[in-house]
Structure 1
Amino acid sequence: MVDTRNRISPARANRTSSPREQARNRFIIVIGASAGGIEPLKKIVSDLPAELPAAVFIVLHVGQISYLPAILDRVATLKTSVAENGAFFRTGNIYVAPPGFHLLLHGDHMMLRRGPRENLARPAIDPLFRSAALSYGARVIGVLLSGALSDGTAGLRAVKAVGGIAAVQHPKDAVVPSMVESALQYVEIDYCVPATKLGSLLAKLAAEPAGETLPAPPIVRLEAAIAAQEHSTMKEADRLGELSVFTCPECNGPLWELKDGDMLRYRCHTGHAFTAEAVLEAQAIEADEILWSLLRSHQQRAEFARRMAERERTRHRSQLARELGQRAEEYDADAALVERILESRRVRVTGNGTVDQESNGKKPEG
């Protein structure tokens, strides 16, 4: 028996056409996913045909190490690899953003940038979607899958603004539906289907001629430039929107309020970007950090006061020992109060399996 597991089929090896040769069809597919996104990604890429006339670019919110390219390459007919800075891409290939870098598209090549985090993530979905929209207009298909919070909504709006196609995994099919629910609220979605149908849908759409490309809104161009680290000055930030009273959860600088249609978003002058939901999540994380620090401080003060009281008792200074003991009790009471607040903010799992992430004291990976 011949082992063919690690061999590349002739069809797969020969799919090396330049994007310029695919000028009429929708040859750019950008996919964003987060928590619960690996399984639908595997299903989608396994259903894409070997002759797909499009290049696929994927952003998944990950930590410092990602095995996603290897995972997808095992099930995909298309070759899957890590995106490389400055490398030219070709149709019939899948490219995955590496940890710690935004993946951007420009001309026929990819760019990786360690720009400001967006929605508490890098790589983030919005920068990829915006850059694709600016470079390829109506020839882009944007796809959002399972994930928490709302990264990808603004980017999908950019794809639609220039005439591209917007598709999402059906929220009932998503493990964590927040991202797709946000997109459904703020974006005119063309297709909302389960992951089992997305692969064949993308193949069909990629084979069709693209429509007319519309002019990109100025805010999309400016935000894409910020992600590419071309602009990061206070003067440029003035063009983003109205200066708000809030500070950036990442760098504590002032936040500009952007009104993107009926969607409210924020950016600071260094480029950190947030949806309103992401600002709330970041503030919840900051509040938890403060509460934990306060709890530790009260507990340490109580223990220190008790030790001082014991020391004074051994020296027969009973009055001072009693005062220190009372102070220790007060600090214990303060610590107990903070602990009760923290207890009320811990993760609560509801009957339908969803999680209240605001109260877990940790930054969500989704």
Structure 2
Amino acid sequence: MFPQPVSAREAAVSRAGGPDRRAGAHHHIIVIGASAGGIEPLKQIVGDLPPDLPAAVFVVLHVGQVSYLPEILERASRLTTLVASNGAAVEAGTVYVAPPGFHLLLHDGHMMLRRGPRENLARPAIDPLFRSAALSFGASVIGVLLSGSLSDGTAGLRAIKAVGGLAVVQHPKGALVPAMVQSALHHVEVDHCLPAAQLGGLLARLAAEPVGKTLPAPPGVRLEAVVAAQEHSTMKDEDRLGELSVFTCPECHGPLWEIEDGDMLRYGCHTGHAFTADAMMEAQAVEADGILWSLLRSHQQRAEFTWRVAERERSQDRSALAAQLGKRAREYEADARVIEEGNRKEKAK
């Protein structure tokens, strides 16, 4: 019978450490996160897992609105492969894949799907899954990070390590896009760093190993899990999470709290959007790009409309007013050229 975890809410308020009596004798929860370049290592890993694996596997891959990942992994794996569904019970020997557009969370031995705010520009994102697994299953969790850009998953892997779980990453030399695993290696005390071809066998061995002591989850992890689950949170919760910063959220334009997570700098807003430093810079770049192109379009339309009015005034023998409007239209066109040139220079960086 699959071991029974405590609920996310119970885990969130528990501060006592000690042996993990809930988890039985082994690591029975494996959470895997990947992004760009992650499909091939995922296929390799699930293909190498034995059909009698005594653990459930949860996969988050950064995807668009359509994903064929469940079908891809089903063909590669000897395990049952399913799209994660809200409220479904967790079963060992099964691979669960997060669907597009939803965060996958674990709570009270079941899965939760939440269409919450994006984290690190992604939904599904890796950090929410890793955090919820750490809170619900403690030291029984093995967190795995694979190829990907930016640094989603690093904070979640830190949460898993904080409660006594294991951290595993793909070796950066074999990762098509190594940024995610390099971030984890820089900020997390990783237990194993191996090529993808060796990770499946490693996970099968680790799943059978005894579980150690589950440690209390850091308060910030609990608060962020509450936000991700779209449970009630208040501004006071964010004040406990970090210091109110001078920056605004690139997604919703609300205030951002600065979170000191060890040596890692992160940001989060009251709505629930969250960013590592590199994801924040990426989001600001996208926001600024959109603003600049909107400003360019606005100036171009002002110039075009002003020329149209000027022509109408000229056709009605009001040449003085037409000349004034023509001068103004040329100024708008000049402003538009400056903005367009600035956009091109920014794109070339």
TM-score using structure 1 length: 0.85
Cross-structure match for 2:162: 161
Cross-structure match for 2:135: 134
Cross-structure match for 1:62: 63
Q: Is the 8 A contact 2:23 2:137 kept in 1?
A: no
CA distance in 2, matches of 1:318, 1:115: 58
Aligned ranges for residues 174-253 of structure 1 at < 5 Å?
Answer: 174-253=175-254
User: Which residue among 18, 28, 34 is the counterpart of 2:2?
Assistant: 18
CA distance in 2, matches of 1:225, 1:191: 30
- Residue-pair matches, total: 332
CA distance in 2, matches of 1:200, 1:332: 63
Q: Which runs of 5+ in 2 are unaligned?
A: 5-21
Shift of 1:228: 1.8
Q: Is the 8 A contact 1:81 1:95 kept in 2?
A: yes
Q: Deviations over 1:221-278 (max 9, x none)?
A: 2211222222322232221111111122222222111111111111222222221222
The letter of the residue matching 2:127 is: D
Q: Is the 8 A contact 2:84 2:99 kept in 1?
A: yes
Q: Is the 8 A contact 1:186 1:263 kept in 2?
A: yes
Cross-structure match for 1:280: 281
Aligned ranges for residues 1-366 of structure 1 at < 5 Å?
Answer: 17-20=1-4, 23-346=24-347
Q: Deviations over 1:176-205 (max 9, x none)?
A: 222222212211112222222221221122
Q: Is the 8 A contact 1:44 1:195 kept in 2?
A: yes
Cross-structure match for 1:357: none
- Cα RMSD, aligned residues only: 1.9
The letter of the residue matching 1:88 is: A
Shift of 1:347: 6.5
SS at match of 2:323: helix
CA distance in 1, matches of 2:56, 2:78: 13
The letter of the residue matching 1:273 is: A
CA distance in 1, matches of 2:176, 2:26: 32
Q: Is the 8 A contact 1:232 1:271 kept in 2?
A: no
Greater shift in the superposed pair: 182-191 or 227-236 = 227-236
CA distance in 1, matches of 2:48, 2:289: 43
CA distance in 1, matches of 2:214, 2:253: 38
SS at match of 2:176: coil
Give the direction of change, closer, same or farther, for the CA distance of 1:201–1:215 in structure 2 (3 Å limit): same
Q: Deviations over 1:85-122 (max 9, x none)?
A: 11111111100111222211123221222233222222
CA distance in 1, matches of 2:191, 2:348: 35
Q: What is the percentage of aligned positions where both structures have the same residue? A: 73
Shift of 1:317: 4.2
CA distance in 1, matches of 2:334, 2:110: 61
SS at match of 1:238: helix
SS at match of 1:270: coil
CA distance in 2, matches of 1:347, 1:199: 41
Q: Deviations over 1:262-311 (max 9, x none)?
A: 11111222222221222222211111111011110111122223333333
SS at match of 1:30: strand
Q: Is the 8 A contact 2:143 2:157 kept in 1?
A: yes
Shift of 1:159: 0.6
CA distance in 2, matches of 1:287, 1:279: 12
Give the direction of change, closer, same or farther, for the CA distance of 1:347–1:125 in structure 2 (3 Å limit): farther
